[in-house]
Structures are given as structure tokens and as C-alpha cells.
Amino acid sequence: MIRVVVADDQALLRGSFRVLVDSEPDLEVVGEAATGSEAVALAMNARPDVVLMDVRMPEMDGIEATRRIRDVCRVLVVTMFDLDSYVYDALRAGASGFLLKDTPPVDLLAAIRVVASGEALLAPKVTRRLIEEFTRTPAVPRVKGLDGVTEREREVLTLIARGLSNNEIAAHLQVSLATVKTHITRLLAKVEARDRAQLVIAAYESGLVSTAG
Amino acid sequence: MIRVVVADDQALLRGSFRVLVDSEPDLEVVGEAATGSEAVALAMNARPDVVLMDVRMPEMDGIEATRRIRDVCRVLVVTMFDLDSYVYDALRAGASGFLLKDTPPVDLLAAIRVVASGEALLAPKVTRRLIEEFTRTPAVPRVKGLDGVTEREREVLTLIARGLSNNEIAAHLQVSLATVKTHITRLLAKVEARDRAQLVIAAYESGLVSTAG
DNA sequence: TTCAAGGTCAACCCCTGGGTTGACGTGCGC
DNA sequence: GCGCACGTCAACCCAGGGGTTGACCTTGAA
């Protein structure tokens, strides 16, 4: 038996969800909450498997409530608004699912079972945008460590990561431009970078330099 | 009527998909392909709405095939293996959906309709991992120094900070090299940087990107 | 409707950055 | 003594990055 809590500030909606859920033999509503804080308290006491969570609620919104109970049960966010920020915030807060209130009842019930089983499920519209968000940033070319990089090379790398040109580096280190270029060619090979931009990335990612904040 | 192409190297599986799909009044199979290249050719000629695409196929795999037809129709990848790399590669290649072959027939049919409508749908297991991947990178706290930089420019800057070359950025954003160069020229002025290395620095220092740790 | 801003694109030019090869000197360990 | 790692330097080549100008289109605000 999958134990469900319904958290929504509209009593009417809670009621219909309860009827819907209780009509299934393997599901049961073990509590209702009208605010975020009530939802948190209920999750702690009633120990449901899944909480159907609205986003907009008095006292504490569904996002914050999700964040507080993410470790004690699964959260399925069900909202009227598919705003990007709602979706992203909910997922980061630990929600296992995100559905819109126009979801057919049968799909909602299926979603509860999916979430209870430890998997995740999103409304198709939400899925599409999450994929867009995901593909927005390409696979990041992983950065190699700084093993094998000599002291001098590390020095040059630091200056590159400060934004200096080859000539400026040469002047700063009191060596010829040719020497700087040699160091850089070797750095590119050792760090497996393609150009100085990727060297800057390597410098940050390896911790050689870090954001000043 | 939603027009469907089935691409899979197993004739038996193509047959059962065809029977399943054709049993629906609003769906029809307009072609079958046994290889990736066949799938591409078929997509160009038959102009289906949705291609059911296997990943492992002779000649050309489903990922590459997806990449080549992403602009002419939707692709729903259906595979036996839910390997992370398959999922990520398929989504980056432009797939609108990713299902496993153990999906119940009724769900597969529903998925075809969802994908045909322009939305997206993933197997619950896949959804869960995509969310994990998404939340792995924390929300960027940023705001600093990047005033006056447009959304598109910010996007380009992010890609530069990932180490992409201008050509790669153009390919990723689906625009010409000239456009990318224009954005970069403006970025250099606005951010007061001299070259892309300094742009990478600006991206890190402004919090637009941050070290993965 | 007009204008500004943002996004897109092309053609041109110039120069730095990066690849390649080869060289010389130092200090170190074997 | 010898080899080796490291730092130094030069000459050459060229592809890509970056600057400049000017253009078109769409959107939204004035």
C-alpha cells in the first residue's frame, strides 16, 4: 500500500485528490495539509511514501517544504503553473516529479506509483524544457590534472589564467617570446587543451587559480 | 494521422511495432529501416512525424541518424540499454524522447503521440537520472560585471568558457560562424576583454560558470 | 508607423597564437 | 662519464581569432 499526503491550500482540490487516490486499491491518503509547514509536519508524523505538493501555499511554499522533507519521502509537485523557475527550483529542492494540474487522473495515479518506486516523472512540457536546458550546455571537455606540469610551466599557466598575452608573459618573466611559446605548446599537450582558452579553464578547474569573489 | 517510421535492425521487432502502431486509428507506419542510413533516407522521403529509433544499428547508429534528421521530424529513441551515454548523446543529438524496450505497449503509443505533439517524454528511470544530472550543477548565483550583456551573448560566453571554438559554438547554436564572431566582438567590448582567454576569466569571475569541483 | 535593440549574416583585412623542428646550456642522478 | 629533465631560444608556417563595415529581419516600445 502506497501512503499519500495531499498538500494544497484549496480544500476542494484536496478533496478530489483524496477521492481519486482512495479509489485505487493500492493507494491511500493518510493526511491532508493546507500549508507548507503543515505538509512538513504531516510528512514527519504520518510518514507517507509520496506527498502531492502544490507550489503556491500560505506560510511556506511547496518548494521550501519539499526541501525539508526530501529525505523522509518522495515529493510529486503538482501545480497549475509550469513556470521555468518553479520546475528548476522544485527539482533542485529534491522533487521526484513535476506535473501540471491538467494532467488526466489516470496519469496522476500512474505518476504516484512511479515516484513511489523511486523513479521520476515529469509532464511532457516540462520534460521538453528540461532537455532543452540540459542540451543548452554541451558535454564539457573534462580537464586533465596538473601532473607532470613543471614549475615554470605552472607559472606560465597562471599568467595565462590572468589574461596576459604571450608578449606580456615574456616581459613579465624576462624571457623571450619563443620561450613562452614553447612552454605553452608543452602545456597544451600535458593538460590536453586545444588553445589558451581551455588552458584558462584548466587553471580554474584544477584550482591553480580561483575566483576572487 | 500521425506518420511513423520504425528503425531497428531486428525484423521481428519492427514487425511487432508495426502491428502495434497500425492497430491505432490515429497512427500509421509509413516505413521501416534496418540501419541508420536507411532511417535517414526514409525520413527524408517518407516525411514521417515520428521515427522510432533504435540505438544499435549497422552502418550508422541511431544517435548519428537522429542528428541528421532532427530538423525534419521528431525522434523517439527506443532501446534495450539505458546507458547514461546513450541517453545524453541521444538528447544532445536532438531526440524528443527516450524509452526502454520494456515499456508497456500502451505507454509507447502514448509516447508517440506526445512526441508528435512537440513535447518530450522519457522513461522514468531516465528521467530520474536526467534530474540528477541537472541538479548536480548548482544554480548559478551570478550577477556582476555582466550588465548590458544580452541573453544570446551570455549564452555564447558560456560556451566560450566551456572551451569551444567559434566553429563549435556556431554548430551548437545552429548559426553561422559570422554570427558567433559578431557576438564575441560585442562581448569583448562589453566585458572589456582583449581575447577569448580573458572572456573565460570574466565568465568564471562573474559566476556565469563555476568550477565543477 | 517609426524607431531602437537584438539577432543574424557576409566580405575583408591583419595579427596573434599555436605547431614544428632543431638547437644549446644547466643541473641532476646513475 | 653519460643520459635526462628542464629551461632557454630561433626560424618557419598557417589557421583561427579578432576588427571593421555594412546589411537584413523581427520584436517591442514610443
- What would the pLDDT profile of A49-81 be if each residue is shown by its tens digit? 999 999 999 999 999 999 999 999 999 999 988
**Per-residue pLDDT, B83:** 85
Per-residue pLDDT, averaged over B139-161, amounts to 74
Domain boundaries, chain B: 2-123, 138-205
A11 Cα to chain B: minimum distance (Å): 30
Q: What chain A residue is nearest to B112 in terms of C-alpha separation?
A: A124
Give nucleotides in strand C with any atom < 7 A to a protein C-beta: 5-11, 16-22
Fold held by B2-123: Rossmann fold (3.40.50)
Contacts 24+ apart (CB under 8 A), B104-110: B105/B20, B108/B20, B108/B78, B109/B20, B109/B21, B109/B24, B109/B27
Looking at A8-12, A135-139, A205-209, B162-166, which range is the least confident one?
Answer: A135-139
pLDDT at A213: 58
Determine the distance from the C-alpha atom of residue B163 to the mean position of all C-alpha atoms in its chain, rounded to a whole number: 20
Q: Which residue has the cell 560566453?
A: B157
Please judge whether A124 and B114 are an interchain contact, meaning their C-beta atoms are less than 8 angstroms apart: yes
B196 touches strand D (CB under 7 A): yes
pTM for the full predicted model:
0.78
Architecture of domain B138-205: Orthogonal Bundle (1.10)
CB A101 within 8 A of CB A80: yes
Partner-chain contact B134 A160, CB within 8 Å = no
Q: What is the pLDDT of residue B212?
A: 67
Residues of A in contact with B155 (CB under 8 A): 136
What is the rounded average pLDDT of the residues A104-108?
Answer: 94
For residues A45 and A51, what is the distance between their CA atoms, to the nearest angstrom? Answer: 13
H-only helix segments in A80-160: 84-93, 105-116, 124-136, 151-160
Mutation target among B103, B122, B127 for the A interface, most CBs of A within 10 A: B127
Give percent above pLDDT 70 in chain B: 94
Q: Is the CB of B166 under 7 A from strand D?
A: yes
Residue B181 CA and nucleotide D27 C1' are separated, in Å, by 23
Please tell me which residue, A31 or A135, carries the higher pLDDT value: A31
Nearest by Cα to A82 from A115, A60, A61, A56: A56
